Amino acid sequence: MLASTKTTSPIKFKAGEEMRKVYLVGAGPGDPELITVKGLRLIREADVILYDRLVNPDLLKEARPDAELVYCGKKPDAHTMTQDMINHLLVKFANQGKTVVRLKGGDPFIFGRGGEEAEVLVQKHIPFEIVPGITAGSAVPAYAGIPLTHRGLSTSVAFIAGVTKKGEDLDAYWSKYAGIDTLCIYMGVKNLPLICAQLIKHGKSPDMPAALIRWGTTEKQETAVSTLGNLSEKAAGLRNPSLLIIGEVVKLREELKWFEQLSAAPACTG
């Protein structure tokens, strides 16, 4: 169980407002202790929790015994529910007068479709709040010992989707990012060879350091480090969920990889 947090007051509503509200809550990147204090409080108070595939199960143990838990997980090309179905449930439960937590991996507004869900709630006149979470893009490289910015190495960072719209011009898409110091690419495993080839085509050196990190911030974390030209071969065994980091900052991992060292340290026996 996670550490207890004090609830200063129950959820409050404005005068005349119906007892219903939806909270789009970021659950963080995997380590359950990385959730915010507010996010944890709302999990404990919710009537209904609609949760994603990458939400740590330990967070769900914090829910009330009578809370309804609804799984909305999505794997690549294998969705338990469509986005329209999720939107429908958010509206349905809220209109039943329930306090609803939509628990999303990472941050709701960074590749989490939180904006789409918030738009639906606005259209249906349902009050809501956004509770930001720690996104994988910042937490996962930190746990791998890779700072996204570093004086002398990186003064710019981009969070990028590794998948594009059907029919989108790949050259136009990837050429925009070749000049950025550090690239943090979500959903890039399937297209890893294409991504590396495109970035090299548009100016990134084949010798640029790169890393693919799987199950970041959890005890299952795996990291493959190579160059942009060789990463596809080096990381061939890694699958989703993974995050791709490209930039000179990856060189710092060898010195700063604290999490693996912490996990490998012998337990203290007193």
| pLDDT value of position 19 | 60
In this structure, the dihedral spanned by the alpha carbons of residues 142, 145, 149 and 154, taken in order and rounded to 10 degrees, is -150
- CA-to-CA separations, 19 to 57, 123, 164, in angstroms, rounded: 28, 18, 40
Assess if residue 29 is contained within a domain: yes
Is the pLDDT at 270 greater than 80? The verdict is no
- Give the bridge partners for 15, in sequence order: none
For residue 47, give the nearest of 27, 71, 72, 21 by alpha carbon.
21
User: 66-75, 129-138, 211-220, 249-258: which range is least confident on average?
Assistant: 66-75
- Whole-number mean pLDDT of the chain? 91
Which of the four pLDDT bands, split at 50, 70 and 90, describes residue 269? very low
Prediction pTM value: 0.88
- CA-to-CA separations, 215 to 9, 39, 124, 201, 204, in angstroms, rounded: 36, 21, 36, 29, 26
- CA-to-CA separations, 167 to 98, 140, 161, 164, 240, in angstroms, rounded: 42, 31, 15, 8, 24
| pLDDT value of position 261 | 81
* pLDDT tens per residue across span 155-175: 999 999 999 999 999 999 999
Is the pLDDT at 11 greater than 60? The verdict is no
Assess if residue 266 is contained within a domain: no
For residue 132, give the nearest of 149, 114, 119, 120 by alpha carbon.
114
Contact 142, 262 (CB under 8 A): no
Assess if residue 198 is contained within a domain: yes
143 and 122 within one domain: no
| pLDDT value of position 1 | 62
Is the Cα torsion angle 225, 226, 231, 233 positive or negative in sign? negative
Cα separation, 150 vs 207, in Å, equals: 19
Domain that holds residue 182: 137-259
Q: Which residues are annotated as catalytic?
A: 52, 74, 187
| pLDDT value of position 268 | 46
In this structure, the dihedral spanned by the alpha carbons of residues 128, 133, 138 and 143, taken in order and rounded to 10 degrees, is -160
Residue that finishes a domain, picked among 134, 163, 181: 134
Which of the four pLDDT bands, split at 50, 70 and 90, describes residue 20? confident
Cα separation, 49 vs 74, in Å, equals: 16
Assess if residue 170 is contained within a domain: yes
Assess if residue 13 is contained within a domain: no
Assess if residue 56 is contained within a domain: yes
Which of the four pLDDT bands, split at 50, 70 and 90, describes residue 28? very high
* pLDDT tens per residue across span 107-153: 999 999 999 999 999 999 999 999 999 999 999 999 999 999 999 99
Q: By percentage, how much of the chain surpasses pLDDT 70?
A: 89
Residue that finishes a domain, picked among 92, 114, 134: 134
